[in-house]
A and B are shown apart, each in its own frame.
Chain A
């Protein structure tokens, strides 16, 4: 299997085909972060495409001193911010939570090869759905920070650099987000399951 570095080298030499394995690696993560920010799956899909087109156009500017994921998520975050800035007059994120805006079960069809038992797989899908419902229910900034921290294993400093905010702000979002999630999950899980 081609490594990420080899893929990046291929992209730098203008090989479009190298985008396919790169997107296979990152598209779900990028999409998840975007949907956390914009909440609409149709918009998230478009912005995910935009992000990868930008990656291809700007790959020459990627210096290999930093992690590729940090660079990728900086592009992702800024693309979302630009979108939200453009739409802020007619786009109020707190009022759009309709049926179409939440991820449906199809999107939670995880490719977890370790789970072969259909019941276990179903339970895992349900569990993931509940967790994502909880993340969707907490304030948006907290949800984004949680997604970056737990999906990408970004440190507090990395997230702070990416979002250009102080580290303490990120810590506060994580802290409050985890508390808010806990309150939400109480409805679904027993005390034992939560501990």
Chain B
């Protein structure tokens, strides 16, 4: 393996000084013209590059950006309105949940549904079904409405509304700047 300074060491002495090398490596550097040449070349480029200045961007850049952004500003959706809307949804959902899960609401609903709808509905006496029944005797044609837990459905709908609101809000925020008031 070569004893010459590796690029990492040259990199370091360009940033600091040759004296920052370990004693043995510094001794090698002092006696090695190849390493010194490499160091000087790097140092010279480093010195030249320290004086560079950026190229000048066309002045129209600022104007164009401001035009684009002022178009965005005119949409002017108020963040306050956004928060009021979110709080209203949460409040509505909370009241709804309380109403559904409270005993009164359930007993009222049970009483109401028992008056209007029998406990389980069956579809009967349809002639065309009877004719099909005769053809496929092994098949059960009894239609029953499933037992529905309305509380869970309400809860699922609430979660759905919340997720939908978040997705919509995120999408809107991507397009329009929301201004704090």
Contacts and interface: CB of A to CB of B under 8 A. Distances in A.
B48 A49 contact: no
A168 B6 CA distance: 12
Given A14-B73, A174-B11, A108 B56 contact: yes
- Dominant SS among interface residues on chain A: helix
B73 A132 contact: no
A77 interface: no
Contact of B44 (A57, A106, A135, A182): A182
- Of the four ranges (under 10, 10 to 19, 20 to 34, 35 or more), the interface on chain A belongs to 35 or more
A150 B53 CA distance: 9
- Dominant SS among interface residues on chain B: helix
Contacts, number: 123
Contact of A179 (B8, B42, B179): B42
A120 interface: no
B60 interface: yes
A185 B180 contact: no
- Of the four ranges (under 10, 10 to 19, 20 to 34, 35 or more), the interface on chain B belongs to 35 or more
Given A23-B65, A29-B54, A52-B65, 15 more contacts: A16-B73, A19-B66, A23-B62, A28-B54, A28-B55, A32-B55, A45-B57, A49-B68, A107-B55, A171-B7, A174-B11, A179-B42, A181-B45, A181-B48, A182-B45
8 contacts: A14-B179, A24-B62, A32-B54, A52-B61, A127-B51, A131-B51, A175-B11, A178-B42
Interface of A: 13-14, 16, 19-20, 23-24, 27-32, 35, 44-45, 48-49, 52-53, 56-57, 103, 106-112, 127-128, 131-132, 135, 146-147, 149-151, 168, 171-172, 174-175, 178-179, 181-182, 185, 194-195
